[in-house]
Amino acid sequence: MSFVGKKFPDLNVNAIDSMGDTYVLNVLKEATSKNKKVLLFWYPKDFTFVCPTELHAFQAALKSFEDRNTIVIGASCDTAEVHFAWLNTSKDEGGIEGVTYPLIADANRNLSSLLEILDAEVEEIDEENGHVVLGGDNVSYRATYLIDEDGLIFHEGVNHMPVGRNVNEYLRLIDAYAHVQKNGEVCPANWEEGKEAMKADRSGVALYLSNN
């Protein structure tokens, strides 16, 4: 099910900050109460291979997101304790020391289940004993959500486990959406900040280029 154009779920989840403090975080309220966009990215597991490269890449671009009035939040199904251990492991040893944005610890899988991004399938149901056997690791795919200041999701994407993300593409998407918000124009393929956008006539069919 696609969530694009819908409000992000209003759900409290556990999170941890870079100091190791745990707290309750609500992604929807982060956007609406602070009047900011949110980039929420899910990754499969702490202490793996591709995942730390992504977390460091988002950290390296953190100021660029902040300059665009955007909060970055990472998320996985690991516990806050495992997140804390990873945050205290050096980059040379496969850790994420130096990451400063919050990490959601969706260990109960409430939010990832609601978003339907878990790598899990029912393989067997034992109705007599009430047992369900799941296939897969029951961890999240590399899912990414961009949420606007009203809590609406304007982008979602899901990568398979081995495929890492391109952080710059999310900056481009945020720029394009902000341009739409400000100018009421539409952004054609490969649009980047400073390039020509397009306007529609009243029928929504005829388009022409604009340098706004």
Catalytically annotated residue among 51, 104, 139, 147: 51
| DSSP type of residue 161 | T
Distance CA(83)–CA(60), nearest Å, equals 19
Strand residues in the chain grouped as ranges (E): 12-16, 22-26, 37-42, 70-76, 103-105, 121-126, 131-135, 142-147, 153-159, 197-200, 207-210
Q: Do 104 and 76 meet the contact criterion of CB atoms below 8 Å apart?
A: yes
Burial category of 2 from C-beta neighbours within 10 Å (exposed 0-12, middle 13-18, buried 19 and up) = exposed
CA distances from 187 to 62, 68, 88, 180, 205 (A): 24, 17, 42, 7, 14
51 a catalytic residue: yes
Q: Which residues of 14-48 are buried (b: 16+ CB within 10 A; e: fewer)?
A: bbbbbeeeeeebbbbebbbeeebbbbbbbbbbbee
CA distances from 32 to 2, 7, 62, 149, 208 (A): 21, 11, 20, 5, 34
Catalytic residue positions, numbered: 51
